[in-house]
Amino acid sequence: MIKRNCIAILLMMAAALTASANALAANADAAKSKLTVTFKQVGVPVEAAFRHFTADVQFDPARPAEGHANIVIDTASLDLGDPEYNGEIGKSEWFDVAHFPSASFTSSALRVTSAGQLAVSGSLSIKGHTQNIDLPVSYLQQGGLSTYSGTVVVKRLAFGLGASEWKDINTLADEVTIKFVIAVPSKS
């Protein structure tokens, strides 16, 4: 039986960056927002989603330096599609939810790189480990909604995700791809 505990942890990393369709949002539209993570277990891609998060995103293209993003993810909300696997992600070798119930991404700088494109720098914190990351983000302001989306690859081992046999990158790849869409109602 292939354990999916590693999958859950990798997905949680993604959650720190983005939101999910059933999220609890600070200013994001939960029905139009989502966060998924994809990783490879013994060479096979596995995708999962975080179900609970808060997202506070403020951005004005005329004043990008004043913008910010703060995402907080409930680490126990990673849905691997199986209750048994979902229960594994909370254990100490993965997210250790008893000690680290959430992961977070906090921006430190936003800048417009071209029409509809941003570079967002910030810190991703998971399980007591923090890494600086740069996110390429596409944005669209239309119909009373601002939508931010992107993809970034992070390394799970840098966050202490996956103990014992899960440290073997041939069993569970170190790279985790995080994909996100955060939809925020435009201010009137």
User: pLDDT by residue (tens digit) across 43-94?
Assistant: 999 999 999 888 899 988 889 889 999 999 998 999 988 888 888 888 888 8
d(CA 182, CA 188): 19
> Distance between terminal CA atoms of the chain?
53
Q: Residues 83-141: pLDDT tens digits?
A: 888 888 888 888 899 999 999 999 999 999 999 999 999 999 999 999 999 999 999 98
CB 21 within 8 A of CB 56: no
Q: How far is CA 43 from CA 91, 122, 158, 167, 174, in A?
A: 24, 30, 20, 15, 11
Domain boundaries, the chain: 5-185
Which pLDDT does position 48 carry in this prediction?
93
The model carries a pTM of: 0.81
Q: Is 5-185 a CATH 2.40.128.110 domain?
A: yes
Instruction: Say whether pLDDT at 26 is over 60.
Output: no
Out of 18-27, 156-165, 175-184, least confident range: 18-27
At residue 96, what is the residue type? Answer: D
Which pLDDT does position 188 carry in this prediction?
52
Q: What is the dihedral of CA 112, 114, 117, 121, to 10 degrees?
A: -40
